[in-house]
Amino acid sequence: MTVTRVVDTSCRLGEGPVWHPDEKRLYWVDIESGRLHRYDPETGAHDCPVETSVIAGVTIQRDGSLLAFMDRGRVGRVVDGELTGVTEIVDSPTRFNDVIADPAGRVFCGTMPTESGDGRLFRLDTDGTVTTVETGVGIPNGMGFTRDRERFYFTETEAHTIYRYAYDEESGAVSDRERFVESPATPGLPDGMTVDSAGNIWSARWEGSCVVRYDTDGTELDRFDVPTEKVTSVAFGGADLDSLYVTTAGGDPDGGAGDDEDAGALFRLDVAASGRPEFRSDVRLD
């Protein structure tokens, strides 16, 4: 396995990588700087088509646009590199965190806790209605689906746990929560995640300097080192979805000096695995 620093973004809080197969580019966000990053591995080109107050994550819509999840319960669309149609979908004083589209085009989206309340997990349906899935969440994070689409994974970072639920594709309902991975002794905290084509789970480790791969039973298979501490999320990309892109945090995008020159960069891990195309959202906003 080799690890390559591909873009020196120095993100404060790089997160949410997603491969756009139509454009053959990787998107990810720097949440606290409000920047949407875009990288073309074929040419090496990198830019930030959107800069706003906060942007916590994106999904790819079925028409190829992006759905952008922001702060104060707001969601907008990114069309041709421009943020449009921003609307409030939930009454929240905080920001969204991790998001994922489900097989039917809905979006599961978590909000961060505040001093007066815990985080939550919501489901945004295709008609724009919102359902509360979980309350009392410390920090809602990485999500995914099993290959048979019958189970849903949800990471609660402060609980050191990846949960697994029964998932009903027709209704979007989740139930029967169980602990899939509980790792209080593992260096770092579980953060973003993805599921590969074999059904294995890849979990980024915040303050753990690594990515951990688990099998479908929750047994650790491998641990891959990343040369910076705050590893935030992972996504497979490239023409064959065989490159594992890794986002990180702890940098200063405005050029301030830091002790860790790798903090906040985008990395690529060449691993003996491949991903699956991400499900696309199909949400209609007013």
Provide the annotated active-site residues. Answer: 191
> What is the strand order of the sheet 14-20 is part of?
14-20, 25-30, 35-39, 46-51
Q: State how beta strands 266-270 and 2-7 pair.
A: antiparallel
> Sign (positive/negative) of CA torsion 13, 17, 22, 24?
positive
Tokens at 123, concatenated: 């489901």
The DSSP bridge partners found for residue 101 are 107
Q: Compute the C-alpha angle 89/91/93, nearest 5°.
A: 120
Q: How far is CA 173 from CA 107, 113, 135, 179, in A?
A: 12, 23, 15, 18
Write the DSSP string, 109-143: EEE--BTTB-EEEEEE-TTS-EEEEEEEESSEEEE
**Which residue carries 């591909």 as its tokens?**
6
**Do residues 263 and 10 touch, judged by C-beta distance below 8 A?**
yes
Whether 284 contacts 15, CB under 8 Å: no
Which residue is associated with the tokens 């209704």?
171
Q: Which of 107, 113, 76, 78 is nearest to 92 (CA)?
A: 113
- Contacts for 208 with CB less than 8 Å, ≥ 6 apart: 186, 187, 188, 189, 229, 231
